[in-house]
């Protein structure tokens, strides 16, 4: 019991601290990439996902894990993911971003959380109808992770996928740096040569970037107190989040945010006299017939807010921030869309893009596409007056 | 020798005196308190469109990510400086190129 509480607290606090210090925001990662090709946070998200994939694969292969999360796959991922993606871009924070900003003192994001709760509750009420219509129609197969499906050992598979992703990225990176130097004078032979050398050129750039990153960290260590108060590189956040997620995976399950939040909604409603258990969605799906009570993952995401609060206070970034009145529709609308979208998929950016891809779940591949598509459409709309790079 | 700035890509920070002095010189001040991303980015781009080269736009904000995201969003259109109050408010100085 004490050990469980310790793990829950360590994982939650660590996630909160690293999310806050690394400004690890999935909206930022995709929106800013589309709007003006800023890929700093996108890289952080990719590093976290791929590293977690490798460690989870190894842990899975040797049996050191709690549980995988593999919902049935189908178009629900695309539909729900799209709704969630639109919602998080409109709200200005994803599921994890909303949590750590709540810890930074944003009343805006506490309001977002409240309306995500309204979204969960509305979904729970509509669930019996949705189950026989929406889920029946759009679900194609039972949930599966490539870790279990593949004949290749999970650890090797994860390494291969992560390695492949790095090579593809290196090739893209190498090509973009080559085109600059070659100019327009390239003939067929040199183009073919470039295609072969691109991954190598890209890997060199990744190696150089990593060296600079490590040198920066070493430099920061000379004055750790001052460095701890400054913003951290998203890659540092990626490393910390991976550490926490690996500990969580070996002790409990994958890291999720909106699932535990939906449970919180059911639990809090039951505390004020609503018979949440009589609703199928809470009673048999979310709490799986165990009774509506506080579960470990609910406590863990509570600690995420505490961790973010501590990190923000330490860095001088905490204050009770009162939103502009014209931003209230973002919290209300964005919260509702995130709450509903994350249930319709099911899963949020953490469950599907981070954890879901890291555990190679087929459902999450589809849902991740839906979320990114939603972010893209909403970004184009918000940037309609000033223009969008992609 | 690489410094922490190479790693975080944050713009140079201004001293308190310099920050106050520059605020008086500003040609356009945008109140972004209580705003969230990406609206300050969009407003900064719109604001710069109305300014002449060499003129100064200052955003006052309490949104932490803005100190990095706004300078990145305007890119080469402006030279960016940041001031941190240490008390969760920030100013972003954008001098149009």
Beta carbons of B35 and A317 less than 8 Å apart: no
What is the 3-state composition of chain B as percent helix, strand, coil, each rounded to the nearest 5?
Answer: 40, 30, 35
Q: Out of A91, A231, A316, whose CB is closest to B88? A: A316
Residue by residue, DSSP assigns A93-154 as S-HHHHHHHHHHTBHHHHHHHHHHHHHHHHHHHHHHHHIIIIIHHHEEE---BHHHH-SS-H
**CA gap A77, A157 in Å, rounded:** 24
Told to judge if B37 belongs to the known catalytic residues of this protein, a careful annotator would answer yes
d(CA A356, CA A348): 10
A229 CB neighbours in chain B (<8 A) are none
Question: CA dihedral defined by A367, A377, A30, A58, rounded to 10 degrees?
Answer: 10
Q: Which tops the pLDDT comparison, B86 or A99?
A: A99
Q: Where are the domains of chain B?
A: 16-96
pLDDT for A194? 66
Q: Do B64 and A104 touch (CB under 8 A)?
A: yes
Cα A95 from Cα A338, distance rounded (Å): 8
CB neighbour class for A126 (10 Å; exposed up to 12, middle 13-18, buried from 19): middle
Pull the structure tokens for residue A86: 């639109």
- Structure confidence by residue, pLDDT tens digits, A343-371: 999 999 999 999 999 999 999 999 999 99
Which 41-60 residues of chain B touch chain A by CB within 8 A?
41-42, 45-46, 49
Q: Whole-angstrom Cα distance, residue A255 to residue A16?
A: 13
At A285-337, the pLDDT tens digits run 999 988 899 999 999 999 999 999 999 999 988 999 999 999 999 999 999 99
Does any CB of chain A come closer than 8 Å to the CB of residue B65? yes
Residue contact A330–B36, C-beta within 8 A: yes
Question: What is the complex's ipTM, to 2 decimals?
Answer: 0.83
Ranges of residues in chain A with a pLDDT under 50 are 180-184
A94 contacts A313 by C-beta, under 8 angstroms: no
pLDDT over 70 percentage in chain B: 90
Beta strands in A13-125 (DSSP E): 73-74
Whose CA is closest to A370, among A346, A390, A387? A346
Q: What is the distance of C-alpha A129 from the center of its chain?
A: 29
At residue A388, the pLDDT reads 83
Q: Which fold does the domain B16-96 belong to in CATH?
A: Translation Initiation Factor IF3 (3.30.110)
Residue B14 has pLDDT above 60, yes or no: yes
Query: What pLDDT, on the 0 to 100 scale, is given for residue B7?
Result: 45
pTM attached to this predicted model? 0.90
pLDDT of residue B5: 45
Angle at the Cα of A66 (from A85 to A96), degrees rounded to 5?
Answer: 25
Measure CB to CB from residue A219 to each of B3, B64, B67 and give the nearest one.
B3
* Length of chain B, in residues: 97
| Mean pLDDT value across chain A | 91
Cα–Cα distance, A314 to A373 (Å, whole number): 36
pLDDT-derived band of residue B4, with 50, 70 and 90 as boundaries? very low
Q: Is B26 on the interface with A (CB under 8 A)?
A: no
Give the active site residue among B35, B37, B51, B60: B37
Task: Compare all CA atoms of chain A with the CA of B11 and give the residue at the minimum distance.
Answer: A231
Interface A-B: count of C-beta contacts within 8 A: 110
Q: How confident is the model at residue B2 (pLDDT cuts 50, 70, 90)?
A: very low
Cβ-Cβ contacts under 8 Å for B46 (sequence gap 6 or more): A385, A386
What integer pLDDT is reported at residue A389 of this predicted model?
85
């Amino acid at each position: 019991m004490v050990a469980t509480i310790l793990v829950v607290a360590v994982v939650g606090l660590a996630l909160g601290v690293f999310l806050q210090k690394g400004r690890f925001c999935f909206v930022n990662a995709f929106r800013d990439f589309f709007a003006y090709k800023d890929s700093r946070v996108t890289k952080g998200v990719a590093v976290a996902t791929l590293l977690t994939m490798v460690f989870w694969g190894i842990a899975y292969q040797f049996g050191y894990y709690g549980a995988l999360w593999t919902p049935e796959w189908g178009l629900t991922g695309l539909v729900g993911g799209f709704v969630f993606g639109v919602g998080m871009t409109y709200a200005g924070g994803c599921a994890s971003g909303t949590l750590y900003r709540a810890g930074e003192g944003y009343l805006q994001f506490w309001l977002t959380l409240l309306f995500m709760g309204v979204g969960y509750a509305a979904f729970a009420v509509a669930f019996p109808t949705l189950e026989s219509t929406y889920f029946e129609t759009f679900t194609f197969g039972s949930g599966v992770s490539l870790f279990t499906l593949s004949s290749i050992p999970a650890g090797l598979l994860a390494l291969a996928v992560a390695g492949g992703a790095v090579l593809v990225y290196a090739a893209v990176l190498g090509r973009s740096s080559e085109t600059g130097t070659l100019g327009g004078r390239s003939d067929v032979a040199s183009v073919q040569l470039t295609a072969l050398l691109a991954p190598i050129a890209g890997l060199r750039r990744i190696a150089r970037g990593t060296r600079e990153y490590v040198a920066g960290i070493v430099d920061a260590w000379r004055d750790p107190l001052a460095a701890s108060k400054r913003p951290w590189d998203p890659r540092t956040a990626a490393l910390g989040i991976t550490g926490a997620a690996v500990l969580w995976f070996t002790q409990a399950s994958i890291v999720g945010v909106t699932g535990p939040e939906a449970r919180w909604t059911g639990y809090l409603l039951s505390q004020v006299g609503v018979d949440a258990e009589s609703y199928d969605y809470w009673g048999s799906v979310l709490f799986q017939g165990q009774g509506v009570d506080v579960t470990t993952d609910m406590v863990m995401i509570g600690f995420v807010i505490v961790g973010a609060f501590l990190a923000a206070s330490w860095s001088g970034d905490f204050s009770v921030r009162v939103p502009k009145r014209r931003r209230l529709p973002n919290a209300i609308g964005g919260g509702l869309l995130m709450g509903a979208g994350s249930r319709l998929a099911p899963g949020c950016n953490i469950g599907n893009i981070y954890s879901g891809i890291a555990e190679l779940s087929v459902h999450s591949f589809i849902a991740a596409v839906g979320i990114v598509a939603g972010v893209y459409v909403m970004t184009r709309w918000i940037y309609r007056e000033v223009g969008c790079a992609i | 020798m690489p410094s922490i700035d190479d790693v975080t890509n944050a713009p140079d920070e201004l001293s308190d005196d310099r920050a106050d002095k520059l605020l008086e010189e500003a040609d356009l001040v945008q109140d972004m308190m209580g705003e969230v991303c990406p609206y300050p980015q969009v407003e900064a781009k719109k604001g710069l469109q109305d300014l002449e080269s060499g003129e100064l736009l200052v955003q006052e904000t309490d949104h932490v990510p803005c100190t990095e995201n706004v300078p990145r969003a305007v890119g080469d259109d402006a030279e960016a400086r940041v001031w941190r109050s240490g008390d969760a408010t920030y100013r972003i100085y954008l001098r149009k190129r």
